[in-house]
Amino acid sequence: MTTFHEHTDTVSVIIPVFNAAAWIRQTIDSILAQTIRVLEILVVDDGSTDNTADIVREYGSPVVYINQQHQGVSAARNRGIRTAKASLIAFIDGDDYWHQRKLEAQIGLMGQKDLQWVSCEIQPFDSDTGAFVDGLTSPVQNGDVLEALFLNNFIGSATPLVRRDVFDQVGLFNEAHEARIGEDWDMWLRIASIYPLGVVHERLAFLRLHGSSAMSSTSMNEKVKCLVGVVERAVERDSARLAPLKGKALAGIYYNAGVQSFKQGQYRQAYDYFLLGLKYRPLKIESWIYLLMIKSGPAFSRHMVNLKRFLTGQSRQLKKQKHERE
């Protein structure tokens, strides 16, 4: 069995960045503060136009600055993988950060269970206030997660720790333009089709929510197109297991796109997405409720949304009180 000490100095951390000067210090500092020492921190600058390079170069070893023309996050991660010297590879974006025990906990589990990759829970937070935001992520499942992951990407990009030779088997991140959203989901599905996932059930990675992210700056139609592409490719690779779930996966993508469009006040777009989702899951009650709200007009919609928020808040409060009593 692999022990914790055998893994010391065997982690390469890959940070793809693009104009991350406002946050990159917190990211790097959280890695340097890990309770184990990493071999190297590879900051792959994907053509930043701010002073990201100056900040990163201030650190010196073990932080390595790598510059390339703007090609996208997949190309940046792949540059890091090809450069990495360690036997374990961890990923984190240049606006997120880790708990100081993140790598130690994951390496311990990896050695104990002889796993090829492990993840952990993730905690979103508001960039402006620093306040934690709950209800945006799903619990991370473990074991053979291919089918569950196909229906819902519960692996945050800042959470996996992967053995280097896994990429020799599954390949690198998809750098195609049509795969620029959901590229991490695509990778996790490829790995999950071969290896079981281990999970440290603690929130050890922190996801920054802000308006400058790639997800925030990409149109909903483009996001949906990319995510549908992830589903199509996954079914091609694992048809026997995933083809029966394809309709449900597509329904989930369209429903989520409808909800996000609705929240943004894009009611016509939301309506179309809900209809697309109902083609695959015609009995999904939530979609019909949203369609009713849209048809009833903005005032009714706002009333229903406020009612839902109130009921959700009451439910969370009751759960909290029950947990405190127990």
Tens-place pLDDT, residues 96-151: 999 999 999 999 999 999 999 999 999 998 878 878 887 667 889 999 999 999 99
Model confidence pLDDT, tens digit, residues 194-251: 999 999 999 999 999 877 656 556 899 999 999 999 999 999 999 999 999 999 999 9
How high is the pLDDT of residue 145? 97
How high is the pLDDT of residue 1? 35
Cis, bond preceding 139 (omega within 30 deg of 0): no
CA distance 49 to 123: 29
Burial of 100 (0-12, 13-18, 19+ CB in 10 A): middle
How high is the pLDDT of residue 137? 76
Interval 288-316 mean pLDDT? 71
How high is the pLDDT of residue 139? 86
Residue 117 near residue 195, CB atoms below 8 Å: yes
How high is the pLDDT of residue 317? 67
CATH homologous superfamily for the domain 10-216: Spore Coat Polysaccharide Biosynthesis Protein SpsA; Chain A (3.90.550.10)
Instruction: Specify the CATH number of the domain 219-318.
Output: 1.25.40
Q: Read off the pTM.
A: 0.86
- Average pLDDT of every residue of the chain: 89
CATH 3.90.550.10 positions along the chain are 10-216
CATH 1.25.40 positions along the chain are 219-318
How high is the pLDDT of residue 285? 93
* Band of residue 9 on the pLDDT scale cut at 50, 70, 90: low
Is the model's pLDDT at 302 over the cut of 90? no
Backbone angles phi, psi at 144, to 5 degrees: -80, 100
How high is the pLDDT of residue 100? 97
Angstrom distances, CA of residue 135 to CA of 14, 258, 261, 313: 28, 17, 18, 11
How high is the pLDDT of residue 63? 97
Residue 15 near residue 92, CB atoms below 8 Å: yes
